[in-house]
A and B are shown apart, each in its own frame.
Chain A
């Protein structure tokens, strides 16, 4: 994968990357988007997302550390034309690329939802990359602050004990040959590295979910490259099209190299 994108995804290096970009032009100081755009997409044109995707976010978040985002694809995935990835950007976060969500035709639809941390009032953008490389963007402005440094872990002991456990929520009846929506929950503190430990006088190290791979019947449905901008207990709502019985299999790797895997059997029924 492009090394520049991995650079931007790496929480530790990003402030340097953005700061370097900002020094280049005084009027860029307030708006990080031009630098982010250039770093991710060079001079590729980005068209308005109308007709391709829509982004929903709360105008004012009630909890800056848990901001629900829904990206709705307006087109179905087909062999001829499909959304291969959606880049979710929170412009003013220290790590602005909250996640890159990769899809296949097997996804049925690239509609997905997740929850992010928002550190200050900002634009949030979803940029769909088509199978032919065309780029389309939907954006929304969110008022929230402090999401990346906010106190984590309401129950610290429980969180660490269940680190890596997952839950899958799927409909009672999964329908054959149609897109079905499911939700994956991963218990993980997703430490941002931005909380200062008063006693040790060190920052609590970043420890976050980095890769999520979701397969159905051994075919990849969705992969997610994540970082600290995803909320504690990262969750993703996703779509899959079963053509027969199988397992939803999830593999997760985090920034410490810890790996978690879990699978859930699915018995889809024909549409009635």
Chain B
């Protein structure tokens, strides 16, 4: 998910009077909102034994959706829980934590951040009390350092006082290549990828069920957003395809999908983008010309296409013109 696309709302009375501090005058309103949310417990789908997924909406992050626009999963072993990404704000992270508590009394031992984008990392603060190991790609810490303040400002602008308590919480453990963690008779294989969706993508494979959770290395339904390397992402798709998984939980889209067929649409879109941009470059065309034409044939296939495809074309052009 592309960090730059968080949307500004800010028209509520709450937002006008509170900014980012929880002023006394606003606590009743916040409590009311929190109570309302508590009445609607987080919807979870158990896509495989012990693997629970909360489905993200295909929208920009707003106060209405609390930035819950990505698929968030947690996996339960016999000794503990691994949370795979934490959502778009601390308040939603607390909802997730409550939902985990209703499923199992076991402690959250691991919090895995798949990559730096705000819809995946900003619920981290909600898990402080659990003191989990926070695991990310070896390049996640640097990406958070460089981008965290910018993303936090965007979340605060979009969510207003509902962003209260949201902070940048960096990883405590880095994965340079591969790491296996044990949830108690349940091994998760974490794999760091070369630059693809971002330069800090980490995927998870649950060995017990053969469920692959590649986070935003796989978009379904929602237009994939390139924030790393187009060529790198195509290479990552080829690498992922070789994993003999039984099913996949995409970073955006349905809670579970068939593997490896789930890759096909994204593969087709990224190849189309690459081929269209290369054609413009070969003809000596400009970035503006590419934006008008590249990827157009995919328009009916993806949600939020007009919001993300042109930007993808800009990114792809700036990458491929060096070829």
Asked if A pairs with B, the answer is yes
Say whether B199 contacts A150, CB under 8 Å: no
Does any Cβ of A come within 8 Å of B79's Cβ? no
Instruction: Give the contacting residue for A154; candidates B150, B168, B227; CB below 8 A.
Output: B227
Instruction: Give the contacting residue for B4; candidates A70, A115, A150, A153; CB below 8 A.
Output: A150
Instruction: Digitize A236-248: 1 where CB-to-B-CB distance is under 8 Å, 0 elsewhere.
Output: 0100000000000
Which segment of A36-44, A99-107, A196-204, A215-223 sits at the interface? Answer: A196-204
Does any Cβ of B come within 8 Å of A66's Cβ? yes
Say whether A198 contacts B148, CB under 8 Å: yes
Least CB distance from B166 to A in Å reads 13
Find the A residue at minimum CB distance from B199: A155
Does any Cβ of B come within 8 Å of A233's Cβ? yes
Does any Cβ of B come within 8 Å of A15's Cβ? no
With A154-B228, A157-B139 in contact, is A195–B146 under 8 Å at CB?
Answer: yes
Does any Cβ of B come within 8 Å of A24's Cβ? no
Say whether B149 contacts A198, CB under 8 Å: yes
Per the bound structure, the CA–CA distance linking A48 and B20 in Å amounts to: 46
Collect the chain B residues with CB atoms within 8 Å of residue A150's CB. Answer: 4, 150
Which segment of B53-61, B92-100, B206-214, B310-318 sits at the interface? Answer: B310-318
Say whether A151 contacts B150, CB under 8 Å: yes
Does any Cβ of B come within 8 Å of A25's Cβ? no
Main secondary structure of the interface of A (DSSP, over half): loop
Say whether B322 contacts A198, CB under 8 Å: no
Per the bound structure, the CA–CA distance linking A199 and B146 in Å amounts to: 8
Least CB distance from A231 to B in Å reads 8
Say whether B286 contacts A113, CB under 8 Å: yes
Which B residues between 143 and 180 are near A, CB-CB below 8 angstroms? Answer: 143-151, 168, 170
Say whether B168 contacts A198, CB under 8 Å: yes
Per the bound structure, the CA–CA distance linking A167 and B320 in Å amounts to: 12
Say whether A153 contacts B146, CB under 8 Å: yes
Instruction: Give the contacting residue for B314; candidates A62, A153, A155, A195; CB below 8 A.
Output: A62
- How many chain-B residues does the 8 Å CB contact rule pick out? 37
Per the bound structure, the CA–CA distance linking A156 and B3 in Å amounts to: 16
- Count class of interface residues, chain A: 35 or more
Least CB distance from B2 to A in Å reads 10
Instruction: Give the contacting residue for A198; candidates B145, B232, B286, B314; CB below 8 A.
Output: B145
B141, B148, B287: residue with the most chain A Cβ atoms closer than 10 Å? B287
Say whether A199 contacts B199, CB under 8 Å: no
With A171-B284, A199-B170 in contact, is A156–B145 under 8 Å at CB?
Answer: no
Say whether A195 contacts B150, CB under 8 Å: yes
Does any Cβ of A come within 8 Å of B238's Cβ? no
Per the bound structure, the CA–CA distance linking A149 and B150 in Å amounts to: 7
Per the bound structure, the CA–CA distance linking A196 and B151 in Å amounts to: 11
Which A residues between 146 and 188 are near B, CB-CB below 8 angstroms? Answer: 146, 149-158, 167, 169, 171, 183, 185, 187
Does any Cβ of A come within 8 Å of B130's Cβ? no
With A58-B288, A68-B288 in contact, is A155–B311 under 8 Å at CB?
Answer: no
Which B residues between 293 and 323 are near A, CB-CB below 8 angstroms? Answer: 310-311, 313-315, 318, 321-322
With A62-B310, A196-B150 in contact, is A115–B287 under 8 Å at CB?
Answer: yes
Find the A residue at minimum CB distance from B323: A167
Instruction: Give the contacting residue for B146; candidates A113, A156, A171; CB below 8 A.
Output: A156
9 cross-chain CB contacts under 8 A: A58-B291, A68-B286, A68-B288, A70-B286, A155-B195, A158-B195, A185-B322, A198-B145, A235-B321
Given contacts A150-B4, A157-B139, 5 further A-B contacts (CB under 8 A): A63-B4, A66-B314, A151-B150, A154-B195, A195-B150
Closest 8 CB pairs of A and B: A198-B148, A199-B145, A62-B310, A196-B149, A151-B147, A63-B314, A155-B195, A62-B311
